[in-house]
Structure 1
């Protein structure tokens, strides 16, 4: 199936907002522009094979790659195709060298004849005076839609005047109306996608703020606190958008298909855990549904970004295939700093970071406040000079056994030097507030030890 059809079906099947679909890269329209570019080149007498023979890649200072022995590597250069960034657009133009000196260096009769034909066609527009305007012409359609060469530019503006210049009388610059239209349209579409992304990011961040306020209010009741903790634990374990154990950003971010699968598994686990049914208030149910909807919308944006990135890559590749003008690498480099939708930081990365820091951390997970020795809540947490935290009971036992180094990093005398000032008061208050059941169980274990009862810690690493 052709990509234009794939793009159209994908945009419809993903059930995207109408304004997103309207802002998507118009692949079919851009293809028509490319066809017009080909016609304008043919009007100049330049076929695809001719372009491969004559065109210089200014960015790499070499001729375009040859195929099937079409030319030798040292074939003469008579044309340059340039892309330059203006303030708001990308300007493109074809520069033809009209100097006939050195024709004897042409190694092939075909190249000589081709160059002479182009010169004859263009030279009639170049007057003997030094008027630069006569050295810059445009291929465009007249009122009857016939292609003509005109010294009057339809894309004339101050930015173009500063960029497009003729260096000497032996050169003429040809502005192809259709490729100027192509890049202007593509640049405009990328700007529309930037606007969509910015609005969507603002919307999702506002949703996170609202949901955060709701969660704070909903977790005042202990039973709801534990339900929400389980809900967020399932979400973290599902690793919906990212693999948390990866160090490479490229490796840790998941594809749209993977995210879709992970969200389905997350919803399934929520249903099995009867999370929704265990919430007491309708507002709690609505908050859970809002959280799930927010993740689904982020998935849609991820898919939308992916299909447009593919559309951009393919339309530039098609432009090169049909014209040999080599823009696939140059155009993205020119607009790299201007368009965040395609080349900016990942929207999912930004939003997931905010979900993690402004929402999920409202309900701490027990693993973040577990003593590494007894593997239960670190009630009355002692922060050693090396910053590692343990419950006071385990450190007392360690010290009684003559073990005074940090159990994790082995910092010498870290336990021996700790005193009451090492009590992490902030962590203590957080633990008392968020883990009342675990604290109660810990105090029960301490009481049993005081009265000589044996406490069996299944996960204890020092008993």
Structure 2
């Protein structure tokens, strides 16, 4: 199936999700998702691939009319890369006064000898056309860069004519080179369409990004209120459940839409099997989970739409180069200055915001471990280098007269004292990790008891003999 048909069907078929409630035990509601059609506004803003293909045919015919078909341009490109000779240059420079509007320009470097074009790479008909352009305009203005008016009726090329022999351009003195700008019409139309649609998609994605940022911020505030341990035992229990849920989302790296869809399906299945949502005790927590799934679905919808339009741009530029040999596949993404669609930064930025404003509302134990014993860093000692260790590990390092921080090698260990105790962090750990703090205190007491009373010491209850 041709890409134009695939692209059209993908816009109609693949998009976001609609939610569908699934019957679960009491006090639980889990969402499953199925594919749904993209919003009509998005479909209307998609890259007009079919229209661009039609315009590309006009560009191809226009080039062939003046004898610069893709084979001729390919020969010129090959000669200037292999032998260093000037052939042609095609760029997408903007208009004056810092306008963002693209103005494609095709410049041919014509080699002349006694006023006659002698490029062996060009067919006789093409050389005749360039000779009329270069020499005719030279009589009007003696400038190196010339922009002629093209007479298309007098420039028809014969594709069956063989290239002139290389011996035709042999000369004792170097041939002068004249720079001739070939005015084209339909390439400007092609890039106008493509550029305008890229800008329109950038605007659309900017609006959707702002909307999603609001959804993320709202969910973050809801999560902060819901999981605050001071709200009671149910909130503390739900915070533990949320910690288990977010542990399933430990991989936050860049993903394609297909990978993101697979990850979302796996995540939902794991949450269902482990009964995390059913174990949430507060209705606000279950509503927050619904919001979290909806948010992930919307992010996936945006990612899929972005990817399919990026592919359409890549495909049409590749087809442009294949039919014209002008080489714009690499230069257009740079010249157009797309900050969202072609840069692909929207999904990445939104996922980063989810991590900072939603997932970060439920602190993970791994972020508060002592880097030496890998238990919760309690009592926390913050060194002058800002690295945090538990008090027991710091005492052990000082007893061994170790001076340097294990992480940054700063000379700070022997300078640490009671003033380095981080009271705020200690209170935070007691509030959000009460179980782990109790286990750490108990382990510290056992270790200290063995140091005082010997290795046979246990923390069992005392008995009177």
Please classify the TM superposition score into its range, dividing by the shorter chain length.
Answer: 0.7 to 0.9
Q: CA deviation at 1:284?
A: 1.8
Instruction: Please name the residue that 2:275 is paired with.
Output: 274
Which ranges in structure 1 are unaligned for 5 or more consecutive residues? Answer: 66-72, 141-146, 150-169, 243-252, 457-463
- In the alignment, which of 88, 94, 111 is matched to residue 85 of structure 1? 94
Separation (CA, whole Å) in 1 of partners of 2:221 and 2:344: 27
Instruction: Please name the residue that 1:265 is paired with.
Output: 266
Q: Is the 8 A contact 1:89 1:183 kept in 2?
A: no
The SS at the match of 2:103 is strand
Instruction: Please name the residue that 1:103 is paired with.
Output: 116
Q: Deviations over 1:387-442 (max 9, x none)?
A: 4433335545x379x33437971869855543211111121121122123333444
Q: Does 1:44 align with 2:57?
A: no
Instruction: Please name the residue that 1:403 is paired with.
Output: 400
- In the alignment, which of 427, 430, 451 is matched to residue 432 of structure 1? 430
Q: Is the 8 A contact 1:432 1:439 kept in 2?
A: yes
Please give the residue correspondences for 1:109-148 in structure 2 after superposition, counting only pairs within 5 Å.
111-117=123-129, 135-137=147-149
Q: Deviations over 1:45-91 (max 9, x none)?
A: 443333335x569xxxx6488xxxxxxx69885x6544312212211
Taking a change above 3 Å as real, the CA distance of residues 39 and 229 of structure 1, as seen in their structure-2 partners, is farther
**Matched residue count:** 403
Which ranges in structure 2 are unaligned for 5 or more consecutive residues? Answer: 16-37, 156-177, 461-465
Separation (CA, whole Å) in 2 of partners of 1:291 and 1:47: 55
Separation (CA, whole Å) in 2 of partners of 1:378 and 1:323: 65
Q: Is the 8 A contact 1:40 1:139 kept in 2?
A: no
Instruction: Please name the residue that 2:202 is paired with.
Output: 194
Instruction: Please name the residue that 1:351 is paired with.
Output: 350
Instruction: Please name the residue that 1:391 is paired with.
Output: 390
Q: Deviations over 1:358-403 (max 9, x none)?
A: 222222112222345554433331223454433335545x379x33
Separation (CA, whole Å) in 2 of partners of 1:37 and 1:233: 58
The SS at the match of 2:92 is strand
Q: Is the 8 A contact 2:306 2:344 kept in 1?
A: no
Taking a change above 3 Å as real, the CA distance of residues 258 and 80 of structure 1, as seen in their structure-2 partners, is closer
Instruction: Please name the residue that 1:419 is paired with.
Output: 417
TM-score for both structures, normalised by structure 2? 0.73
Separation (CA, whole Å) in 1 of partners of 2:387 and 2:223: 30
Q: Greater RCO between the two (CA within 8 Å, min separation 6)? A: 2
Q: CA deviation at 1:347?
A: 2.3
TM-score for both structures, normalised by structure 1? 0.73
Instruction: Please name the residue that 1:323 is paired with.
Output: 324
CA RMSD of aligned residues (A): 4.0
Q: Is the 8 A contact 2:205 2:340 kept in 1?
A: yes
Instruction: Please name the residue that 1:306 is paired with.
Output: 307
